[in-house]
Amino acid sequence: MVEDSYDHTKRKDQRTGTYKPKNIPVDDVMNEVIRTFSDAERIERKGKSAEVVVGKFTVSETLAIFKKRGYDHFVALTCIDLIEEDQFEMVYHLFSYGAKVHVYLKTRIDREGPSIDSVIEVFRPAITYEREIKEMFGVDFPGNPRLTQFILEDWEGPPPMLKDFDSIQYVQDHFGIKVRNPKTLPPKWKKAGDA
């Protein structure tokens, strides 16, 4: 049986044949995480969601704890470019079908030579998210075997999702058209040097 050999944290209900997800309150798991890792810090949120900030090197272990406790849906991995603080914020989105709680696991990494260990040992689906973030933000994930070019074919420029990526300049350089006078552009497109 494929279902039994698969390492599934959900329990199969023998009577109905359906999976019954674990229902563990998020507060219990959070307490366990904070007990285990001294640098973990919980941030209060409203509604059915919880947020925790952990250190860069304890992400995989924290995710493993969450996974064991029923928060086993790896929803997404996102990256935020905090250019003023010279850091990237990585957000691991988790969801529990039993507790019906969304967990945001956050960590900060340096913007210079960004690198964070891959979590594919815990959540295999992260392999594609990490590939995308490598392409869009230039973050390196040691341990991920598949950090090849993903959506941007034949891309040679800097990672395009960075805040200091000059989109208009890139368009003018590569697509052979002149963009309008930058002074007439809306304010958010003005660069710091422009009057």
Partner 1 sequence: MSEDEPTGGLLDQDGRPITNLPERGFVRKVADWASARSMWLLWYCTGCGAVELPPSFTSRYDMERYGIGPMATPRQADIFLITGYLSVKTVKRIVRSYEQMQDPKYVLGHGSCTIDGGMYWDSYATVKDVGLYIPVDLYIAGCMPRPEAIFQTFEKLQDMIIKGEAVGWKKYKDNYSWYRKNQDNVFKRGPDWALEEPELR
- Write out the residues near partner 1 by the rule CB under 8 A: 151-154, 157, 160, 165, 167-168, 170-171, 174-177, 179, 189
| Closer by beta carbon to partner 1, 48 or else 190 | 190
Q: How far apart are CA 180 and CA 115, in angstroms?
A: 38
Residue of 45, 41, 163 lying closest to 107 (CA atoms): 41
| Closer by beta carbon to partner 1, 103 or else 133 | 133
Token couple for 179 = 């963009």
Residue 184 Cβ vs partner 1, minimum distance, rounded to whole Å: 13
Task: Spell 144-174 as b/e; 16+ CB within 10 A means b.
Answer: beebeebeeeeeeeebeeeeeeeeeeeeeee
Residue 183 Cβ vs partner 1, minimum distance, rounded to whole Å: 15
Non-local (6+) Cβ contacts of 84 within 8 A are none
| Closer by beta carbon to partner 1, 76 or else 152 | 152
Residue 76 Cβ vs partner 1, minimum distance, rounded to whole Å: 20
Residue 177 Cβ vs partner 1, minimum distance, rounded to whole Å: 5
Residue of 128, 108, 1, 133 lying closest to 55 (CA atoms): 108
| Closer by beta carbon to partner 1, 7 or else 154 | 154
